[in-house]
Amino acid sequence: MSAILMFSCSDDGNEAVAQPTMSQKMYITIDGVSKPVTLYNNAATQALVAKLQEGNVTVSLNSSGGFEIWGALGFSLPTSNEQMTAHPGDVILYNGSNICLFYGSNSWSYTRLGHIDELSGNALQAFLKAGESNISVTLSLEPVSSGLSAVRMDISPQDDAYYNLNGQKVVNPSHGIYIKNGNKVIL
């Protein structure tokens, strides 16, 4: 598996530390909008990807401290905690079973999971619903679709029945507008 290096800088002026990343992306979906996450390559993310291969994980997260949304994953992941400063966009594992999505900064002992791509500043805060509670967040290996992809009609092309505008079959139609064989009919 090829690895790309991602660099992060701490606020205390220390040199940047290279973090190997996975080629596999994770997606975070909130209110039907999916954003990719570049995952760091460690035991926690490998276990998370294995869990997501079984199916999407939806969690309820809450804002806390004015810098993150966080909540229980419902399962534990391996930890490799290190004292660090999390920055906006960082995706962090806390205490082995909680996920934290940062829109601000905080220093603590965390396990790095990844970083949300494509967003920063106000756009990141809006996406993460900063300041709100009970935020439904879906973690997945593919973007989650929220719309209809197709509409299927169970009416055969030679169906001589009449249907009202609500799609209900009408046995004895009277005066009005109906659908017959897919066409509008006025009686």
Per-residue buried b or exposed e for 126-159, using 16+ beta carbons within 10 Å of the residue's own CB: ebbbbeeeebebbbbeeebeeeeeeeeeeeeeee
41 vs 168: CA distance, rounded Å: 55
* Residue 54, both tokens: 């079984």
Domains and CATH numbers, the chain: 4-140 (2.40.100.20), 156-187 (no CATH)
Instruction: List, in sequence order, every residue forming a beta bridge with 68; answer none if it has no partner.
Output: 64, 102
pTM: 0.69
Neighbours of 115 (CB within 10 A): 22
Residue 18 confidence (pLDDT): 62
3-state helix, strand, coil in the chain (%, to 5): 10, 45, 45
CA 159/CA 168 separation, integer angstroms: 13
Residues 117 and 37: beta-carbon distance below 8 Å: yes
* Start-to-end Cα distance in the chain: 67
In the numeric block, which tokens belong to residue 133?
């509670």
**What pLDDT score does 162 carry?**
80
Dig out the tokens for 59 from the structure. Answer: 């969690």
**pLDDT on residue 19:** 73
- Summarize pLDDT for 106-125 with one digit per residue, the tens: 999 999 999 999 998 999 99
* List of the chain residues with pLDDT < 70: 1-18, 146-159
Q: Please report the pLDDT score of residue 21 as a whole number.
A: 86
Q: Are 62 and 93 in contact (CB under 8 A)?
A: no
Structure confidence at residue 146 (pLDDT): 54
Residue 181: per-residue pLDDT: 79
In this predicted structure, what is the pLDDT of residue 110?
95
